[in-house]
Structures are given as C-alpha cells and as structure tokens.
C-alpha cells in the first residue's frame, strides 16, 4: 500500500478509536437521549457521521472513476497537508455548524444500528481508496463549495477530522449525563 494511503488510513483509525472511546463514556441506555431540545443524541450523531462519510466516499469514488478514464497515472507526488484553516475549523467546538439537511439523522437508529452504520461507512471509504491504491490520488481533486479544492487524501483527512470533532461532542454529552 502506498505510504500516503497508509497515512490517511492511520488517521481514520485514530479518529475511530477516539469515537469509540467517546461513545463508551455514555451509558448505552442514554445514547438515544437528546441532551437538549436543539441537540442530537449520541445515536443521531453516529447516524450523521455515517451519512456524511457515505457522501464523501461517493464523491471520492466518482472523482477516482473520472480520473481513471483519463489515465491519471501512478502516485509520484508529495501529499499536500490537510489545510490548516480546515483543521482549525473542525477543532473549533465553540462555533456550532449547521449540517445540510441531506445529512441530518432520522433518529431511527438504536445503539447497535448506529454503530454498525458508522462501521459500514468506514468500510466503504477504505474499500474505495484501497481499490485506487497506487493511482495519483494527490492529483485527483474535488472542489467542495464549503471546504474548497481537496485531493482524495485530503477528503479522507476531512472525514477523520469531522469524526474527531463529533467525538468531542459525544464526550461532552457523556460528561453531561454522568
């Protein structure tokens, strides 16, 4: 596996460990309970994470398929770092963000189903990127209306940073419920 892919997969793995640890701070019977009227429950956050990751995995797959048709070549470039402004945006929990309606949770998933949804989304992301291992993923980009132009590697890092952001949110819920 190319070292760039290994690196972004490691970021996904670290983000998932943080998410699992945060979820585990909330007793299972409370994971479906909203901590406030205008806030999502742990299960809803997990559902949201799965929806977001599925959408980004789809974008990644689409961009890779387009690039493969134009013979993008093999990876020979350095990997641009994840943009500092995005890293700071995801780290800033003081400013709440409004998710697009398409990635709002339905609230219909229980504890086990919500976790299974995030796991399925992760498998999807890893499978798509693994299948393109060796291609010049640093040259395959997507122009996102909010986040700007990001390479495949940066899109994967965005998924990891988004998950860490919500891990902190879940940890905060755990503190409120204790």
Give the span between the Cα atoms of 172 and 22, in whole angstroms.
9
pTM (2 decimals)? 0.95
Spatial CA neighbour of 39 closest among 93, 110, 111: 93
Give the span between the Cα atoms of 23 and 17, in whole angstroms.
10
Give the span between the Cα atoms of 123 and 144, in whole angstroms.
23
CATH number at residue 146: 1.20.120.450
Token code pair at residue 141: 């980009």
Spatial CA neighbour of 155 closest among 57, 88, 89: 57
Sign of the CA dihedral running 61, 62, 65, 66: negative
| Residue 175 CB neighbour total at 10 angstroms | 11
At 77 the pLDDT is 82
Mean pLDDT by 10 residues, the chain (178 residues): 95 98 96 93 97 97 93 87 92 81 91 96 98 94 93 97 96 88
> 93-131 burial, b for 16+ CB within 10 Å, e for fewer?
eeeeeeeeeebebeeebebeebbebbeebbebbbebbee
Give the span between the Cα atoms of 88 and 24, in whole angstroms.
26
Give the span between the Cα atoms of 22 and 14, in whole angstroms.
12
At 178 the pLDDT is 73
As for how many domains the chain has, the answer is 1
At 96 the pLDDT is 80
At 73 the pLDDT is 87
Give the span between the Cα atoms of 83 and 44, in whole angstroms.
28
At 55 the pLDDT is 96
At 97 the pLDDT is 80
Domain carrying residue 74:
3-177
The number of angstroms, rounded, from the C-alpha of 132 to the middle of its chain's C-alpha atoms is 19
Beta strands in the chain (DSSP E): 141-144, 148-151
At 24 the pLDDT is 96
The number of angstroms, rounded, from the C-alpha of 65 to the middle of its chain's C-alpha atoms is 21
């Amino acid at each position: 596996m190319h070292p760039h892919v290994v690196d972004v997969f490691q970021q996904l793995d670290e983000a998932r460990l943080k998410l699992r640890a945060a979820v585990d701070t909330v007793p299972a019977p409370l994971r479906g309970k909203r901590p406030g009227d205008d806030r999502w429950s742990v299960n809803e956050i997990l559902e949201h994470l799965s929806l977001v990751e599925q959408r980004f995995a789809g974008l990644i797959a689409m961009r890779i398929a387009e690039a493969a048709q134009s013979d993008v070549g093999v990876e020979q470039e350095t990997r641009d770092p994840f943009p500092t402004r995005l890293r700071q945006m995801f780290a800033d929990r003081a400013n709440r963000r409004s998710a697009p309606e398409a990635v709002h949770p339905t609230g219909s998933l229980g504890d086990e189903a919500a976790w299974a949804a995030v796991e399925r989304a992760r498998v999807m992301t890893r499978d798509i990127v693994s299948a393109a291992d060796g291609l010049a993923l640093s040259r395959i980009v997507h122009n996102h209306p909010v986040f700007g132009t990001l390479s495949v590697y940066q899109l994967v890092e965005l998924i990891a940073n988004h998950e860490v952001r919500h891990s902190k949110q879940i940890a905060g819920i755990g503190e409120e419920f204790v």
